[in-house]
Structure 1
Amino acid sequence: MYNFSPTIEQEELLAKARKIMEEDVYPAEKHIIPGVGLPNEILKPLQQKVKDQNLWAAHLPKSIGGLGLGNVFLGLLNEILGSSVLGPRVFGTAAPDTGNTEILLKAGTPEQIEKYLKPVIADEIRSCFAMTERDVSGADPTGIQTTAVRDGNEWVINGEKWFISNAGLAQFAIVMAVTNPDAAPHERATMFLVDMGTPGFEMIRDIGTMGDFSEGGHWEIKFNNCRIPKENILGKEGEGFKLAQMRLGPGRITHAMRWLGVMNRSFDLMLDYALKRKTRGKPLADFQTIQNFIADSAAEISACRLMTLHAAWMMDEGGDARKEIALIKFYGAKILNDVISRAIQVHGSLGYSKDTPLEGFYREARAAHIYDGPDEVHRVVVAKRYLKEYKNRNSDVLV
């Protein structure tokens, strides 16, 4: 019923991606500048190599410069790219640009596509997505307090946003603001395109976080009577929540796809060290506890992989994969943290040091339990959908 195998053409592309990651991307990790990423003199040649191999911006359709090969292929590719924090950036699939390009492609006007979408795809400019607010639950975007009021040919935005990733490197933001507070909760908000540097757009601070590999930081920003042209509305008035969900669904499964890469690399490091490190006269691999670490990790990674590819397959088939995406979002986050933790334990003090990528993986992985909806919310979503499906399937029995 399910077939997750790549075609011959796709396998050739995946092989090219693996080669670039192993020969170029992993060695470049030592040049990462925390909060900035790779210097352009290193990054740009790598990106050009990816473009020359026809691997650039794989998440987008061919009509706009992507590959258009479906979500299962994206899962297989992101599994490779996710093995390094640099992978998505080098291959033109880095967040938050990926989600923003998808929104612009579906809701942008021809003028917005020319001004914002095409330059982002070409990596000439960067973007950020401003929805989350400090005093409002991030898991419930219907409660946002930032407002946008129409004043003649302009919109006037007021409010504060919190934890806006990549704002430090972005040239524009997609901002979600309430335009009709009296409408139904899911129809109150609208999205807008706001250029950085617009009067009234204040960058308050880059919030320090546990990890240090995120480009552009995570910013607190403020809008003080920030005026933008009426043409900068993205989509229709009241469509903000709809567009946000359209963006966040694929984003969640993309995270799960990339986590597989981190799991696999951590697992390989665990195997390698267990075989070569000796204690009490024999390799660590000979001890049952280490063998349990290996067996448990192998089983859990396999489960995550199948769950992720199944959700991707459902999306390709046009099905409703929200339950499956929610399921892999919280389960994948747990396994990601568990596998990295075991790998560190096997390495001992070396794993705790910065001499391997594991300590960086570990600090970055903690956020997986929180971003794009905390685990607890996704568990509720999964449980409610299973209960609803069961009631519908057994309605006669339950009466």
Structure 2
Amino acid sequence: MALLLVTGLLVPALGASAAGHRDLIEWVHAYNLFSPNGDGRRDTVRFVFDLAHGARVTAGVRASGGTVLHAQSLHRLDSGRHHWTWDGRSDDGTVVADGSYDIWIRARRGAVTQTLKTRAVADTVAQGRLVTSRPTVYPRAQIVDDQIQLVYVAEGWSPYVVWVGEDFQPRTELRILNHRDKVVRDEVVKDSATPTFTWDARRTDGTALAEGTYRARLRTIDQAGNLLRLSQRITVSHAQLVEQVWTNTVPAATAGRFYPWFDLGCNDCYNFASPVASDRYPGGLSFRPNESTWGTSGYFLMDLPFTAAPVDTYRITAVGGPTVPGASDVGALSGVLMRGDSTASSPWFHVDLVDYPYLPVGEAPIHWTFGTKPPNSFDVATFSVEYRYYVSAAS
């Protein structure tokens, strides 16, 4: 079960106390994701708090429906720093199911009562998958420095989680073994939301490894302490590669679309308008002026009829012109300006197999943008893709 780590919920709840006693008890630390499965990794969850004065303290756990699962008296504690640890069990000794639980720690001193509340998340199952680009690597290829890419994608992965930086894999190790189970590659990635590995099937001196079948074994530990092992077969071939070019042209209105994820520091990037149907070009799109801070934008993608590889490159070409023929309005294709009735191409981009929208579905390695800023109004008739990729010369 993959759950986003709950933070920022350390909210003191006052009982019948005066405002001057708000500091009777304060949170210091409450890392609230744990895995009570008995494997010795984060089997308990620990809450640290400070008392400003001596007080009688109790702690407890409630299920989401309000049922008290566990309550415990910590007796009278002196002022200072203390902690309480929960082992994920209810009062009858049963380990609770995976999920979110309400936690409280209550301090009483005379007529003053103060309660701190947060949540603990029990998560005993790591879930994810190993996404691999082309399963064959060609270390002797002369036309391109070939390599494959292996990426661990945790269940619930999203660009938001990556940018916020809260949900990451503390440690992920990839080992590649030959047919004799000898390790030919061993690499560790720490504290990454998207652990990524590349392999060119070469030794440290640059020579190619022998042809044959290898096995990639990935071992990762999540924030709750759960261990997950995954494996993938990889083929090493000494064949040469030849370049191929795949092309595809579509009316702009039929191009695949996606909604982007923006960095939290982007400041109102979401405030953009979408294009509408073009009156000038049948099947086209019109990027017209609006009151949006960021103008009118479209975010486009295209799938491939074959598997993408990290050495592949592509570029996009747009055909279009101002909404009103002859006007001086401009549009921008992935940063390249189009003026008047024209055809423009983007630079050649390398395929980024760990970028959104390719992850987590792994199906859209090609993506681009087109947009205008007020007062410009620009229409696009078609988008074309040129995609350079490599296949075995022996095939």
Do both proteins adopt the same fold according to a TM-score greater than 0.5, normalized to the shorter chain? no
Greater percentage in strand: 2
Q: TM-score, normalised by structure 2?
A: 0.23
Greater percentage in helix: 1
- Structure number, greater radius of gyration: 2
Q: TM-score, normalised by structure 1?
A: 0.23
